[in-house]
Amino acid sequence: MNLPNKLTLSRILATPVFLFFLVPGWFGQFLGLDQWGRYAAAAIFVLASITDLLDGMIARKQNSVSELGKFLDPIADKLLVTTALVAMVMTDNLSVWAVVIIISREFIVTGIRVVAAGQGIVIAAGKLGKIKTIFQIIAIVAILIHDFPVSLILPWLPVGDICMAIAVVLTVVSGIDYVARNAYIIKKNGK
């Protein structure tokens, strides 16, 4: 197993650890450190998100892109983000609608990619999708740490909520763009 695949696997393994620190009744209940559990969860989420950036860069630089990596990378990404979003519905009253919209888009995109892969077509992520992911990561981390340090200066500014709203809008726009750009795959298989 090459280094990029190890980084991807570490992201998968980090997901339940992230959840352990985030969900009340686990870390915080036993140690009385609920907020520290959230900080730990945020740190794990940031580190796992960095591995997402690194695994692809290293794989391309070392020319070590593998079929296993192509399979595991999107699973690792979706597992981490989906786990965070679903848990945050409970822990932070994150809008269920926002989470359903984000997860629905991921199902649609994954479905199109699976159909395309069956035809030997690899669909790269678009720029809008990458920007959406950046806003999702910023939103999740900001909500986890209660908008710190911005909250010290501007306590009325909900940075995490604003970034999540932007992420949801970008989710819809990038999803529509993705379907439009790849409609030929859907049409080809609908005949």
Summarize pLDDT for 116-170 with one digit per residue, the tens: 877 878 777 788 988 999 999 999 999 999 998 888 899 999 999 999 999 999 9
Contacts of 13 (CB under 8 A, 6+ apart): none
User: Does residue 159 contact residue 147 with C-beta atoms inside 8 Å?
Assistant: yes
pLDDT confidence of residue 91 = 85
Q: Calculate the average pLDDT of the chain.
A: 87
What's the mean pLDDT in 46-75? 85
- Cα separation, 168 vs 58, whole angstroms: 30
Identity at 16, one-letter amino acid code: P
Residue 60 burial (CB count, 10 A): 11
Q: Is the pLDDT of residue 31 over 70?
A: no
CB atoms within 10 A of CB 76: 24
Tokens for 143?
């909500």
pLDDT digits (tens, 9 = 90+) for 92-124: 889 999 999 999 999 999 888 888 877 878 777
Name the residue with higher pLDDT: 23 or 166: 166
With contact defined as beta carbons under 8 Å apart, do 83 and 21 qualify?
A: no
CB 171 within 8 A of CB 133: no
CA dihedral 5, 7, 8, 13 (to 10 degrees): 120
Report the share of the chain in percent with pLDDT over 70. Answer: 93
16 burial via Cβ count (<10 Å: 0-12, 13-18, 19+): exposed
